[in-house]
Amino acid sequence: MTDAERAKALPASLADVADTLGLEVALKIISEFGGQEIKFPKLPDDDHPVIVALGKEDGYAVCQFLTGCFIYVPHMKARRSVRMDVLALQNAGKGRREIARILGVSQRHVRRMANKAKNPNQYDLFA
């Protein structure tokens, strides 16, 4: 896949980042924060997750470009059913952000799966 094709496949929330700071920076954001909602601070510390993940130069450039923005970073992976995994990890005491990172899905999807009502027409085979 060429860089032009990869840039075209980027989600709208990161297209401006790729245009301004480069495709590699946008792809790093997806690989590190895919499936999460991220707020980019105006003055991040050196130990801020964005700076740690992207490196100082790229991290500070992204924070300056997206100062104060709260964006959803899509994970860019194929969909699959993860409800049982979400419920199991939730019962194990994991937080929703951590569950999203472990399963490679978005926090929104984790929230939807965790809050989804059980189907009353479906019998529990193991009860």
Confidence of residue 1 (pLDDT cuts 50, 70, 90): low
Cβ(10)–Cβ(75) below 8 Å: no
Task: Tell whether the torsion through CA atoms of 28, 11, 98 and 126 is positive or negative.
Answer: negative
pLDDT > 90 fraction of the chain, expressed in percent and rounded: 43
Beta bridge partners of 38: 71
Res 118 pLDDT > 80: no
Average pLDDT over residues 90-103: 92
Q: What is the pTM of this model?
A: 0.61
7-26: average pLDDT: 86
Task: Give the C-alpha separation, 99 to 90, whole Å.
Answer: 8
Pick 77 or 23 by higher pLDDT. Answer: 23
**pLDDT score of 56:** 94
Q: Comparing C-alpha atoms, which of 95, 82, 29 is closest to residue 20? A: 29
Mean pLDDT of the chain: 86
Is 36 a residue whose pLDDT tops 70? yes
Q: What is the pLDDT of residue 126?
A: 66
